[in-house]
Structure 1
Amino acid sequence: MKVAVLDINGKDTGRKADLSQDVFAIEPNNHAVYLDVKQYLANQRQGTHKAKERAEISGSTRKIKKQKGTGTARAGSIKSGVFKGGGRMFGPRPRNYSFKLNKNVKRLARKSALSIKAGEQSIVVLEDFNFDTVKTKNFTAILKALNLENKKSLFVLGASNNNVYLSSRNLQGSEVVTSSELNTYKILNANQVVLLEGALEGIETNLSK
């Protein structure tokens, strides 16, 4: 699968990048994609929610009315959840939402997501670049050259580059990750996936195992 390599000005360099059929052109597995996205979102949850139950409420322990003869239901504690100011019945408790997912399923999901984007022609291959200093203006110029100013974009680097990462951090619609940080949710959440040449080998190595 041949894709033109662009420079940071959005111009064709005349070179072609060869995208692996085993990574960018498979039959997408929707269930694997669903599971991987579900796991990613579950892992973002802190799970610190908590409501006070009747044992944790401050209040009198006196029986509030006699057992029989009132014509209403019996009641023994003002801290019961049926009364105003009482404890919460079956309220949320702190818990861990994360769950285990097989590595092969995660790998299949990421290949499926990349294949979906490739099928939508939403993948761009860009030549490797670097910034001498941290400047958001430099990164904005690249977005403008690629017509990505008002779109969600995901830039995938071959290796960590602090200047490029920090230059993009203030831009809400753009995200920069390395090939080892790539995940299904981020791929699908972006309107355009921009792969730097140096990231292709790492992506294919990680997903072809």
Structure 2
Amino acid sequence: MKVSVLDIQGKETGREVELSESVFGIEPNDHVIYLDVKQHLANKRQGTHKAKERAEIVGSTRKIKKQKGTGTARAGSIKSPIFKGGGRVFGPRPRDYHFKLNKKMKRLARRSALSQKMKSEALIIVEDFNFDKPRTKDYLNVLDNLNIRSKKSLLVLDESNKNVYLSSRNLKTAKAVTVSELNTYNILNSNVLLISEGKLEELQNNLNK
């Protein structure tokens, strides 16, 4: 399939690029997408949550009232979970949420996400560009020219385009990543995906391995 290349003014350059059917034209695998997104979010968790249980509470161990004759349930310790300030029953403990997903599944998930963007016409190929210096206003002008300023966008650019990256970093609805940083979650979390013309071949080669 062929797609026109746009410049940063939002106009067609007259050039077209060939998109790989095996990357942008497959039937999306929803379950693999779910697993990849789940792994991405799980691996970002610190897992440092902790609540004190009964044995870890600092407090007196004396029996707080007599066993019988009070008209209420017996109670042996102020550290019991039923009292305010007592320990928590089966509270959270530090744990590692990381889990592995093989490379073939991760590549399939990214291809599925890219195919979804292609089907929903939320994919734009832009010619390679750079700025003389980091300036958020310049990047906003590019988004205005492409009529996507009000949408959440993701730009896949070259590692050398540091000024473009810095110009977009201050925007909540815009994100710029390199091909190696591109993941399924970022693709799905954007309304519009922008791919620089020069990195398209590398992206397709990586996902066709």
Query: Does TM-score exceed 0.5, indicating one fold?
Result: yes
What one-letter code is carried by the residue in structure 1 that aligns with 2:32? A
Please give the per-residue CA displacement for 1:150-184, whole angstroms capped at 9, x wherever unaligned: 10000001334221111001111000000111111
CA contact (8 A) 1:159 1:199 kept: no
| Aligned pairs (5 A) from 1:123-142 | 123-142=123-142
Give the whole-Å Cα distance in 2 for the aligned partners of 1:95 and 1:199: 38
Encode CA deviations 1:125-147: one digit per residue, 9 max, x unaligned: 00000111011111011000001
The farther-off stretch of 70-79 and 32-41 is 70-79
Match of 2:161 in 1: 161
Q: Is the 8 A contact 1:158 1:197 kept in 2?
A: no
Which residue number corresponds to residue 56 of structure 2?
56
CA distance in 2, matches of 1:75, 1:6: 75
Is 1:173 matched with 2:178?
Answer: no
Match of 2:122 in 1: 122
User: Which stretch shifts more, 63-72 or 30-39?
Assistant: 63-72
Say whether 1:35 aligns with 2:30: no
Q: After superposing the two structures, state which structure 1 stretch, 153-162 or 190-199, moved more.
A: 153-162
Please say if residues 4 and 15 of structure 1, whose CA atoms lie closer than 8 Å, have aligned partners that are also in contact: yes
User: Which residue is 2:150 aligned to?
Assistant: 150
The RMSD of aligned alpha carbons is 1.2
C-alpha distance in 2 between matches for 1:110 and 1:89 = 41
User: Hey, what does 1:193 align to over in structure 2?
Assistant: 193
Aligned residue type for 2:18: D
Q: State the alpha-carbon separation in 2 of the partners of residues 162 and 88 from structure 1.
A: 49
Normalising by structure 2, what TM-score? 0.96
TM-score with structure 1 setting the length: 0.96
Q: Which runs of 5+ in 2 are unaligned?
A: none
Matched, 1:15 2:11: no
Of 120-129 and 83-92, more deviation after overlay is shown by 83-92
Shifted more, 53-62 versus 19-28: the winner is 53-62
Which residue does 1:109 correspond to in 2? 109
C-alpha deviation, 1:70, in angstroms:
4.2
Q: What corresponds to 1:86 in structure 2?
A: 86
Tell me how many residue pairs correspond in the alignment. Answer: 209
Q: Distance in 2 between matches of 1:84 and 1:158?
A: 57
Q: What is aligned with 2:204?
A: 204
Matched residue SS, 1:3: strand
**Where does the alignment leave 5 or more consecutive residues of structure 1 unmatched?**
none
